[in-house]
Amino acid sequence: MADPVPDHRPLVRALLAAAPASYRGTERLRTRSGGQAHRVSGRLTEHAVADCATDLLVDTAGRLAELEVDCAAFGDGYRFKSTLTLGEYGPATKQEPPSDS
């Protein structure tokens, strides 16, 4: 079974390649289980987006704990901001497909 959690390492590598100073250090996760995570913050330019301020918090297992993006689209003045927080990862579980009935 494939891992249901997306791999965010390419995004981390892109931020670090754009600016090695994007790495902000380690901090404690704000979850019940705690643990340490790495903060990476920087700017990305992607496809139809002129500018994206991106802030990631990745736990020591490489799983995304927080993602915040604040972006501007090309030329039309449209901006969007999104924040995603994940946590309390447990062991992978096998999901049975729904029946045809």
Look up the pTM and report it: 0.59
Non-local (6+) Cβ contacts of 87 within 8 A are: 29, 30, 31, 33, 65
For the chain, the average pLDDT equals 78
| Residue in the structure block whose two tokens are 């020591």 | 60
Instruction: Using the predicted structure, report yes or no on whether residue 1 has a pLDDT greater than 50.
Output: no
Asked if residue 74 has pLDDT above 70, the reply is no
